[in-house]
Amino acid sequence: MSMLPNPLEVRSRDHDILDLFLQRWSPRALSGEAVNEEDLLRLFEAARWAPSTYNEQEWRFLYAKKGTPHWDTFFGVLLEANQVWCKDAAYLIAVVARETFVRNGNPNPVAILDTGAAMQNLLLQAAHLNLVAHPMAGFDWEGGPKTFNIPDGFRLTAMIAVGKPGNPETLPAELAEREQPTERKPLEKIAREGTFSFEE
Amino acid sequence: MSMLPNPLEVRSRDHDILDLFLQRWSPRALSGEAVNEEDLLRLFEAARWAPSTYNEQEWRFLYAKKGTPHWDTFFGVLLEANQVWCKDAAYLIAVVARETFVRNGNPNPVAILDTGAAMQNLLLQAAHLNLVAHPMAGFDWEGGPKTFNIPDGFRLTAMIAVGKPGNPETLPAELAEREQPTERKPLEKIAREGTFSFEE
């Protein structure tokens, strides 16, 4: 049974927006239960409808289901700090971007940005299904692309752990402590009228 | 009055997902009406809750309201092909990413990806409010960063036109013809079990 906090009770918004954006967060407590394949496909279906330049749809998703040989491959690409809790995920996903245009082979300056948009659709759909979908930058950036056979012109951009929410008490103490939805900077630190005037 | 097609009547999904993802599309027909500032702030508020590595919140948004001196600056960065229809937007937004970690100054490998996730929240919230929010790669990539005074370590990644939906008949004929929500590749072209096996 999940004992995870409800982000809607923890986070406060300054302007009225859809609950969905606050509901999405990145827990580490996973139950170890399976997630049915139809739910996984819903995540990719959501990703599919993101916007992209010239409708290039630069995003590609590779996945591995727990208990399959593919799982061992994917799991081995994660840093140990993520393996500690990802062992209880149901799926691991690798997020890949096509860096050149299909139309002419030129570099696509928004390939990664568009892929981030698709990833966000995936994460939001997962939140809607009460699934954990936790994106990670903590993996082997150098060896990962070779392990996944990612060809030239494509780039590994992130990995995602997907699973059912679990009990934070099953996590190592230092991770259990951090099992709270994060807050955000004040809006004026990220949005301003006119040219760049942020102080950092 | 808007005569834009309803994406939910045009697009079909293969797996059950939230309508919101299909409702979001990128029209060019804008009414020229103002959008109130509170609605604009809702878009940034949605962006704010995207995930980011170490909660770095790498995204920054600059904006200009139609009729202000800032507008002329932002509008001038767009390519002519976008100026043609962006003249009827209410706001123009420049999407910027912090490319290095606040914590240690090192390059952040997911800065652009995370910024794409924040952008997608913004676009989805706009769709929910029945606003047009159309992301663009068609701007002056070389001169834009200087015009916006974007400092070293930050990168201009996209621009977005925000406005109220308009009548496609007011667009030049070749744009009016394209004023339809786009389709998507079959799911098996973007998601696969195991290592990279897409044929492209």
d(CA A11, CA B3): 38
Strands A191-193 and A154-163: unpaired
Residue A178 lies in a domain: no
Share of chain B above pLDDT 90, in %: 98
The domain tally of chain A equals 1
User: How many C-beta atoms lie closer than 10 Å to residue A178's C-beta?
Assistant: 11
Comparing CB atoms, the residue among A98, A109, A116 nearest residue B113 is A116
Residue A137 lies in a domain: yes
Q: Which two tokens stand for residue B61?
A: 């948004």
β-pair partners for A95: A61, A158
Residue A10 lies in a domain: no
Residue B48 lies in a domain: yes
Share of chain B above pLDDT 70, in %: 99
Q: What is the pLDDT of residue A176?
A: 95
Q: Which residue of B has its CA nearest to A18?
A: B125
Q: In which domain, by residue range, is A66 found?
A: 29-167
User: At residue A1, does pLDDT exceed 80?
Assistant: no
Q: Which amino acid is at B179?
A: E
In this predicted model, what pLDDT tens digit does every residue of B50-98 receive, in sequence order?
A: 999 999 999 999 999 999 999 999 999 999 999 999 999 999 999 999 9
In this predicted model, what pLDDT tens digit does every residue of B168-189 receive, in sequence order?
A: 999 999 999 999 999 999 999 9
Q: Calculate the average pLDDT of chain A.
A: 97
User: At residue A198, does pLDDT exceed 60?
Assistant: yes
Residue B177 lies in a domain: no
Q: What ranges make up the beta strands (E) of B29-150?
A: 59-65, 91-98, 132-136
Q: What is the pLDDT of residue B64?
A: 98
- Chain A residues lying within 8 Å of B115, measured CB to CB: 113, 116
- Chain B residues lying within 8 Å of A112, measured CB to CB: 112-113, 116
Q: What is the pLDDT of residue A2?
A: 63
Cβ <8 Å between A191 and B141: no
Comparing CB atoms, the residue among B51, B60, B193 nearest residue A26 is B51
Q: What is the pLDDT of residue B178?
A: 92
Question: What CATH number has the domain bearing residue A73?
Answer: 3.40.109.10
pTM for the predicted model, two decimal places: 0.98
Chain A closest-CA separation from residue B29 CA (Å): 17
User: At residue A121, does pLDDT exceed 90?
Assistant: yes
User: At residue B118, does pLDDT exceed 70?
Assistant: yes
Cβ <8 Å between B148 and A196: yes
Cβ <8 Å between B117 and A117: yes
Q: What is the pLDDT of residue B3?
A: 84
Cβ <8 Å between A63 and B192: yes
Instruction: Please compute the mean of the pLDDT values over residues B141-151 and round it to a whole number.
Output: 98
Dihedral, B7, B10, B14, B17 alpha carbons, nearest 10: 20
User: At residue B114, does pLDDT exceed 60?
Assistant: yes
Q: What is the pLDDT of residue B2?
A: 63
Residue A151 lies in a domain: yes
Residue A88 lies in a domain: yes
Query: For an interface test with B, which of A15, A22, A35, A106 has the most B Cβ atoms less than 10 Å from its Cβ?
Result: A15
Comparing CB atoms, the residue among A55, A61, A110 nearest residue B190 is A61
Q: What is the pLDDT of residue A200?
A: 76
Cα dist. A25→A133, B145, B153 in Å? 8, 32, 27
Per-residue H/E/C for chain A: CCCCCCHHHHCCCCCCCCHHHHHCCCCCCECCCCCCHHHHHHHHHHHHCCCCHHHCCCEEEEEEECCCHHHHHHHHHECHHHHHHHCCCCEEEEEEEECECCCCCCECCCHHHHHHHHHHHHHHHHHHCCCEEEEECCECCCCHHHHCCCCCCEEEEEEEEEECECCHHHCCHHHHHCCCCCCCCCHHHCEEECCCCCCC
Could you tell me the pLDDT band of residue B200, with boundaries at 50, 70 and 90?
confident
Q: What is the pLDDT of residue A92?
A: 99
- Chain B residues lying within 8 Å of A135, measured CB to CB: 51
Cβ <8 Å between B196 and A45: no
Could you tell me the pLDDT band of residue A50, with boundaries at 50, 70 and 90?
very high
In this predicted model, what pLDDT tens digit does every residue of A134-175 receive, in sequence order?
A: 999 999 999 999 999 999 999 999 999 999 999 999 999 999
Q: What is the pLDDT of residue B1?
A: 53
Quote the Cα angle for A171-A173-A174, to 5°: 105
Residue A163 lies in a domain: yes
* Whether ipTM exceeds 0.85: yes
In this predicted model, what pLDDT tens digit does every residue of B2-47 receive, in sequence order?
A: 689 999 999 999 999 999 999 999 999 999 999 999 999 999 999 9
Instruction: Please compute the mean of the pLDDT values over residues B130-148 and round it to a whole number.
Output: 98
Comparing CB atoms, the residue among A21, A64, A195 nearest residue B148 is A195
